[in-house]
Amino acid sequence: MQISWFSFSKVLFSLFILVMFIMDLAAQTLTFEEQDEGWLLLDDGKPRYFYQAATKSLDGKYPRANYIHPLYDTDGEVVTEDFPADHPHHRGIFWTWHQLWVRDQRAADPWVCENIIWEVKRVKTSIHPNGAANLEAKVLWKGTGPVKKNIIEETVVISYQRISSNAYKLVFDISLKPLVSEVRLGGSEDPKGYGGFSPRIKLSKNVGFYDENGAVVPQELAVQAGPWINVTREKAEDPGVVIMGEPEQLPSYQGWILRSENSMQNIAFPGREAILLSDKSPYLRFKNQLLVHQGLGNQEIVNQYRIFKNQP
């Protein structure tokens, strides 16, 4: 059987790309730097994200912890916002809801940081040979209002991995275990029903939203789109942040709450009707992934989503 020079060249090129990728991983240095308020991840000395473990507030208002800010792109620019003037309760990359019930009592409004604090009890960090950096935290959701109890124990694992010199991915694996009986969570009590994983990303004046099939136009209510949205400066090929989720795994999934200014982006569940948290393992578990990039093509994003979906 004869092999054409063209086919042989393709094989050589593929091997070259594989060798360069392996060499890039071998040369990569990932480190976690523990600071007074949390942990900073560095990739070859460049900041990638900061996990806020200590409680932070704005003049005593909107106390919050257990979120990511700042999140940096590969050029070192901050791409998230914390305490924005339009919605000071928004905070970087966060995940929470308006409704937290214990039996028939409204315990707190975690979305606006009311009657609740998040106490980060334990943080473990690890660096792996495949170029991944993991941060795992145990977090107590503690009621401070009408229900003064530990209500939920959260386990969050945040996994970082470089894709290329111009892109990286960040996977969030979150599990919520109720510590008292009949704990319910719900989104905003209006037709928007927002709640869940909610990145507050800096937006350009001409921000673009794209899924696998093309442009997505934000609406007042949730829009139906694919399992990922690329939020870019303007065009699909521009730098941006891709938000990925698993809609088919979410209880009472509502769709995408998208905003072109002054807000977060949200893959919303369970909507305005609160759901009962299971008191048996695996409890309520959901996963999301961010791709922070300087311009990823549609097929590259699709390939990364397939990898994300196939992770256990």
Q: What is the pLDDT of residues 67-94, one digit of tens each?
A: 999 999 999 999 999 999 999 999 999 9
276, pLDDT greater than 90: yes
Phi, psi (deg, nearest 5) at residue 6? -65, -45
CA distance 301 to 15: 22
What is the pLDDT averaged over residues 224-249? 98
In this prediction, residue 11 carries a pLDDT of 46
Mean pLDDT for 181-202 is 98
For range 190-219, the mean pLDDT: 98
Q: What letter would DSSP give residue 282?
A: T
Q: What pTM did the predictor assign?
A: 0.91
pLDDT tops 90 at residue 282 = no
Please give the mean pLDDT across all residues of the chain. 93
Instruction: Locate the DSSP E strands across 59-149.
Output: 61-64, 67-71, 93-96, 99-102, 105-108, 116-127, 132-143
Of the pLDDT bands very low, low, confident and very high (cuts 50, 70, 90), residue 261 is: very high
pLDDT band at 262 (very low <50, low <70, confident <90, very high): very high
CB 271 within 8 A of CB 254: yes
Q: In angstroms, what CA-CA distances link 74 with 42, 168, 198, 302?
A: 11, 8, 21, 21
Q: What pLDDT does residue 19 have?
A: 42
pLDDT digits 0-9 by tens, 90-112 = 999 999 999 999 999 999 999 99
pLDDT more than 70, % of the chain: 91
In this prediction, residue 15 has a pLDDT band, given cuts at 50, 70 and 90, of very low
Residues 6+ apart with CB under 8 A from 67: 51, 52, 91, 92, 93, 94, 95
Q: Mapping DSSP to helix (H, G, I), strand (E, B) and coil, where does residue 109 land?
A: strand
Residue 130 backbone dihedrals phi, psi, to 5 degrees? -80, 10
Closest CA to 198 of 84, 294, 108: 84
What percent of the chain lies above the pLDDT cut of 90? 90
pLDDT at position 7: 54
Q: Band of the pLDDT at 17, cuts 50, 70, 90?
A: very low
- Of 245 and 25, the structure prediction assigns the larger pLDDT to 245
Q: Read off the pLDDT of each residue in 214-234 and give the average, rounded to a whole number.
A: 98
pLDDT at 279: 93
Helix (H) or strand (E) holding 47: strand 46-52
- What is the per-residue pLDDT across 105-135, written as a single tens digit (0 to 9) for each? 999 999 999 999 999 999 999 999 999 999 9
DSSP string, 68-85: EEEEB-TTS-B-B-BS-S
Q: Is the dihedral of CA 265, 270, 272, 275 positive or negative?
A: negative
Alpha-carbon distance 184 to 99, whole Å?
8
Region of 59 on the Ramachandran plot (φ > 0 left; ψ -120 to 50 alpha; else beta): left
Q: Is 93 helix (H, G, I), strand (E, B) or coil?
A: strand
Q: Is 9 exposed, middle or buried (0-12, 13-18, 19+ CB in 10 A)?
A: exposed
